[in-house]
Structure 1
Amino acid sequence: ELVSDMAWTNKAIDLDTWYIEYSKSRYGSCPVAMAEAWQLLRETSYGTMTDHPRFGFQGNSGSWATGTINKDPRIFEAIEKFLSCSDELNNSELYKADALEFAAT
């Protein structure tokens, strides 16, 4: 989504704002815990600049771009924060789908 948005602007994108607006657009809201979850993901697995970030608990193959696996424990904190938004976002089918993906990993 971010790469697509970058194609439509010639200005720098403020990631703090972008993730909040992305969450509002995708899920209908951006609770504080959601913003915190995205920040943690940006600092860990989503900060690797790979097309499909891999987490340490997803196997041993690692990222195709770096050949490494992100084993930062803050990933679990991010997932917990993401899932803690379920009461507020339980009407969002996209939130449910993303929450299932995070919870399953």
Structure 2
Amino acid sequence: MGTKVEAAHQMVVRAARIKDTGERNDLEAGMAKYLASEYCRDVVEDAFRIHGGYGFAKEYEIERLYREAPMLLIGEGTADIQRMIIGRRLLEMHADH
């Protein structure tokens, strides 16, 4: 779980650094958004399993995270849209080769 969080974080930081330079970063941003949302779902599901029955209790934050994590896959551009953005950009970049 920690590996997934760190990998997603590194991709977000890379996309942000490219944006800070003023360069086009739609590929890196799309990849970061896609990976982070997929990994978020995975990590939340794993944490939910670790909590067992307590995962349903409103007293634990995992209950809220389990409800909200799927929204990351459809909010701010669905995973399908992110994959299309990534694919188009990769095709553009490698069309000359």
TM-score band, normalised by the shorter chain? 0.3 to 0.5
Structure having the higher helix fraction is: 2
Bigger-Rg structure (1/2): 2
Q: What TM-score do the two structures reach when normalised by structure 2?
A: 0.37
